[in-house]
Each structure stands twice: as structure tokens, then as C-alpha cells.
């Protein structure tokens, strides 16, 4: 199936690590012109050089998504370079504290997680939406998480931020819909990779006195499909929601979790 993404301009935050790198490569392979935004450009520049050598158009900008001015400058730079912004994929985010109860979570830890996971998406959407409204076309995909669809003890700040992102998604979907702009949220479950193995599994292994491999297996057992989500699973979902194949889909929570949040 042709996703009709060739020559579209896609802005991607958090584009070079974990699922962000998979998302970036997936959009490049579909022929998108890219604007890659991140605070730390070391990994981004290496990825961008690799993509450029393969013939892909790739702009890189240093952006702290919690700063509205950074987001506005990045949107302006993208418009200067490409003349349009068709797609925004908000991947940038953080796990927040792991294994702490709400009482144990410091206010500063809570605020920082919400500022990044909610505020960062809000700032980026505000930055790109005027251009999308003017051209009467746009696709916005926020990467949330299934802990924003079901509660999770020990992940209060993260869960709160992802629940809030769902509200941001749905409100913007209603406001932007009349301008032919779709706004949706992909909600990954546990995604296999360093963050999952070195933080989530380590926490469970420490608490239960089991191996990291056993912790990963127990997480997989919670899902109907008995397997952990991969970066490519998330990238595929983002491609679908950023394409015109999903032209009649907006405001949804799209769990990519092997059957956990919805079952």
C-alpha cells in the first residue's frame, strides 16, 4: 500500500534514540523530507549524516521542547528550508521516576516529567499548527504510553503526563479538524530497548530478586500476544497515522502494546 508520504515534510522530536530513531528512518524510507529536533545533537547529527548519504533531505535543529521559543524557532527554520510542514511526530519524552510512590515523588520530579511529556508536545503543536492551518493540511502524532490509559503504581508522574497528553491530543483534534488536520496519539506498551532493559526490568528484578531476563519475560506475560513491543511496531503506527490512509481517523488513542491497555 502506498502511504502517499513521498515529499511530505515531517518534523520529528526526539529523533535519534530508541523508538525515535526507528520513527526517523521509517519516515525517511517513505520519502519524507525531515526536520530532526533534539536537545543533544551528537546522535542526531550522526543519524542525519547517514540519511543524507542515502539521499534523504534532513534538517537538524537544537531544541528544548519545554521552551516554547525553541519550538517556534525550529518551526520557522523548517518553513524556511522546505516551505511547508505537513507532519509532526512528538517522540521526545522521559520516563520520570521509576519505582517511587506518589508520596515519594518529589514535586520537582513530577513537574519536570509533566513539563517534558505534556508541555513539550503542547509547545511543538502550537509552533507548527499555524502553518498547517494556512495550508489546510496536517498530521500530528503524539507518542504517549499505555500507562496513560491504565493506572500504574510506582509511575505516578509518567502516568499523569501521558493521561494529560491524551487530553491535549483530543482538544487539538477538535480545534484543528475543521482545517483538515488530524491529531492522534500512539500509546506504546513496554518497548524493548535500553530504557526497558536497564531501567524498568532492573527495577523489577531488584524488587523481586529475579534476573533481568525473567523480569522481561514477566512483562511480556501481561500482554495478550505474550511479546514486548519493538521500536518498529511504534514506527509503523506513526506512519499509518501520519498518512492519508488514516484520513478519517482523529483524536484517537492507538495502543501498540500486544493487548494490555484495551483488554
Radius of gyration of the chain (CA): 18
Of residues 143, 124, 127, the one with CA closest to residue 18: 143
Question: What is the DSSP-derived secondary structure letter of residue 66?
Answer: T
Residue 82 a catalytic site member: no
Q: What is the 3-state secondary structure of 132-176? A: HHHHCCEEEEEECCHHHCCCCCCEHHHHHHHHHHHHHHHHHHHHH
63 touches 71 (CB < 8 A):
yes
List, in sequence order, every residue forming a beta bridge with 38; answer none if it has no partner.
Answer: 62
Cell of 3: 502511504
Question: What is the DSSP-derived secondary structure letter of residue 191?
Answer: B
Cell of 73: 524557532
How buried is residue 202: exposed, middle or buried, by Cβ count under 10 Å (0-12/13-18/19+)?
middle
256 touches 233 (CB < 8 A):
yes
The region that residue 49 occupies, defined by phi over 0 for left and psi between -120 and 50 for alpha, beta otherwise, is: alpha
Which among 82, 137, 158, 223 is annotated as catalytic? 158
Catalytic amino acids?
A: 158
Amino acid at each position: 500500500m502506498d502511504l502517499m508520504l513521498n515529499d511530505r515534510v515531517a518534523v520529528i522530536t526526539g529523533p535519534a534514540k530508541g523508538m525515535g530513531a526507528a520513527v526517523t528512518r521509517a519516515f525517511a524510507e517513505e520519502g519524507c523530507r525531515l526536520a530532526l529536533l533534539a536537545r543533544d545533537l551528537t546522535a542526531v547529527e550522526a543519524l542525519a549524516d547517514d540519511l543524507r548519504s542515502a539521499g534523504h533531505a534532513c534538517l537538524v535543529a537544537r531544541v528544548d521542547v519545554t521552551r516554547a521559543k525553541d519550538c517556534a524557532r525550529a518551526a520557522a527554520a523548517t518553513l524556511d528550508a522546505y516551505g511547508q510542514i505537513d507532519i509532526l511526530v512528538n517522540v521526545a519524552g522521559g520516563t520520570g521516576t521509576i519505582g517511587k510512590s506518589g508520596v515519594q515523588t518529589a514535586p520537582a520530579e513530577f513537574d519536570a516529567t509533566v513539563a517534558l511529556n505534556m508541555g513539550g508536545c503542547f509547545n511543538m503543536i502550537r509552533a507548527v499548527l499555524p502553518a498547517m492551518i494556512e495550508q489546510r493540511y496536517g498530521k500530528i502524532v503524539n507518542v504517549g504510553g499505555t500507562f496513560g490509559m491504565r493506572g500504574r503504581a510506582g509511575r505516578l508522574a509518567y502516568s499523569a503526563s501521558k493521561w494529560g497528553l491524551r487530553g491535549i491530543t483530543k482538544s487539538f483534534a477538535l480545534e484543528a479538524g475543521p482545517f483538515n488536520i488530524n491529531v492522534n496519539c500512539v500509546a506504546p506498551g513496554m518497548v524493548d530497548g535500553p530504557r526497558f532493559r536497564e531501567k524498568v526490568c532492573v527495577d523489577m528484578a531488584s524488587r523481586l530478586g529475579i534476573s533481568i531476563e525473567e523480569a522481561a519475560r514477566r512483562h511480556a506475560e501481561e500482554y495478550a500476544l505474550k511479546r514486548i513491543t519493538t521500536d518498529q511496531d511504534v514506527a509503523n503506527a506513526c506512519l499509518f497515522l501520519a498518512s492519508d490512509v488514516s484520513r478519517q481517523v482523529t483524536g484517537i488513542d492507538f495502543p501498540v502494546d500486544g493487548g494490555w491497555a484495551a483488554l
